[in-house]
Structure 1
């Protein structure tokens, strides 16, 4: 009988992605009151619409008089999910809140949709996570045997689906721009920077226009994102060292979008997606922590602890 191994997905890397997703939705709910989130949209109707599947959202289960109470209850769930406590128990409530926000608010953006999809997929990872906090290092539990291996396989499969989803998002984002003349001739970012609704804030616009009013500068601003998006779409076909190089580039790219266009919830969703797309399975980012300088005898043990754990699976 052959013996195979699979890397355990339960590490601080996927936990950081969960936290970013929760913080993005938390920002939307905490800094927007119910009158802003739920309003009438011309030709569509009063939100939440509560039609079909969307009627299962949290804001469809109560009257408008209780929207504020539900909003703050959702914020509490998101705070707990973002903290990393008991991912096995908080993953489903987190996904339900993400679904309720995406289907319930009157002005959702792409970040709300990405958040809902990724949180749903990460439920399959988190329900098999035995840790108290998703920041903790992986702890082997040999007593669980094949059951642990099954949950690990489900978790890795879910992260793989999330990676494919992110690749498709970046591919579609790049290809959808190409037929438009402004993107083809390199002038699109000039118009976006000066757009009344989504343009750069007043304090930043003069500096950006110094670049955008130069032919070479505006072409770089316009075509640079296209190159980065198609590279991220193809990241799964690249070696890991190239993915590491793409990670800070992608993070800065979405930070720029957030600063210029104000799409912060979108940035948090895409940062989480980039972590899932570009980091290895079972990655532990070694977040800063207070600890003593390790002794020479402890170095081999520390190196072994930092390697992704593998679970034997019999086939």
Structure 2
């Protein structure tokens, strides 16, 4: 136990990864606000069942929304400014709280939301406490060392583990939940989703997928999704960083394929940020991007 405490005292989570992850979450919400008509997204009169409209409007804290306090148009532009401020990394103690408010407002003010919006809302709310205790003026900077931070490191390493446990459970819930559906169990669900008239893939991609979904390997293709999600959950127990990095890349490719298949760009942003929080212990993705940027634009190595 003593060696564990010493390890937690030395390990700090206050690095550039926080700014990187928060920026990816912000990008997803920013795309939603920039490329959609906010008054239409928030028009609950479109609900066919008026009882549903009454139910939604009476959910506790639904009115604790930036769009409720400032109105739809003003709220949209203020939200965009808040999300843009996240990319700067400055004053995370303030922008962390404001960013969580924006994501929460999207989930509670818009009629059309998907799992990525909910994940971004939940995780940015959990990150607020970390941002409040970050002793940096800019999160893109290395951590400022302080002798009095040992108790802080212990607490926030445990707190951070609880956050990534949330991400692991997302994959566990998704994998196990599919087993209750007959089409997932018999291996035909992938075909139905790929050819769905609303959420399905473009025709040219369907032709590629049909090579697998219309073959005898269709069940294997369908079950590979369930197996991947369960393996991503199991990564919570992994101690080998190389193994975690392999599953990080596989997970990112998996969610990237969802963009081309179903067009869910903001969902990819949320899941990419969640995976980096979950599996990228050494902040490898950010450092690789930083290295490529500096090498291409400044002609030198990091």
**Which of 38, 43, 54 does residue 42 from structure 2 map onto?**
38
Q: Which has the higher contact order (CA 8 A, sep 6+)?
A: 1
How far residue 52 of structure 1 moved from its aligned partner, in angstroms, is: 2.2
SS in 2 for 1:138: coil
The unaligned stretches of length 5 or more in structure 1 are 295-301, 303-315
> Contact conserved, 1:124 with 1:154, CA < 8 A, in 2?
no
Alpha carbons of structure 1 residues 284 and 14: separation in structure 2 relative to 1, 3 Å = farther
Is 2:62 the partner of 1:68? no
May I ask how many residue pairs the two structures share in their alignment? 286
2:144 corresponds, among 136, 139, 145, to: 139
2:198 paired residue number: 197
**1:185 pairs with 2:186:** yes
| CA contact 1:87–1:126 (8 Å) conserved in 2 | yes
SS in 1 for 2:158: helix
Paired residue secondary structure (2:10):
strand
Deviation at 1:253, TM superposition (A): 0.7
Query: Residue 205 and residue 47 in structure 1: after superposition, are their counterparts in 2 closer, same or farther (change >3 A)?
Result: farther
Deviations 1:225-259 (A, max 9, x none): 11110011111111222111100000011111122
Find the residue that maps to 2:113 and give its secondary structure: coil
- Aligned partner of 1:115 in structure 2 is 120
**TM-score, normalised on structure 1?**
0.83
Distance 1:245 1:238, change over 3 A: same
Q: Give the Cα separation in 1 of the matches to 2:178 and 2:285.
A: 35
Q: Look up the match of 2:225.
A: 225
The aligned residue for residue 125 of structure 1 is 130
Q: Secondary structure at the match of 1:118?
A: helix
Q: Is the 8 A contact 2:83 2:99 kept in 1?
A: yes
| Higher strand content, 1 or 2 | 1
**Kindly tell me: are residues 172 and 245 of structure 1, through their superposed partners in 2, closer, same or farther at Cα, counting changes over 3 Å?**
same
| SS of equivalent residue, structure 2 residue 90 | coil
The whole-number CA distance in structure 2 between the counterparts of 1:266 and 1:282 is: 21
SS in 2 for 1:234: helix
Large movers: runs of 4+ above 4 Å: 281-284, 291-294
TM-score by length of 2: 0.86
Q: Which residue number in structure 1 is paired with residue 100 of structure 2?
A: 95
Alignment-derived partner of residue 281 in structure 2: 280
Q: CA deviation at 1:11?
A: 1.1
Are residues 235 and 27 of structure 1, via their aligned partners in 2, closer, same or farther at CA, if it must alter by over 3 Å? same
* 2:62–2:108 CA contact under 8 A, matched in 1: yes
Gaps of 5+ in 2: none
Q: How many angstroms apart in 2 are the aligned matches of 1:206 and 1:36?
A: 34
Distance 2:32 2:259 in 1: 14
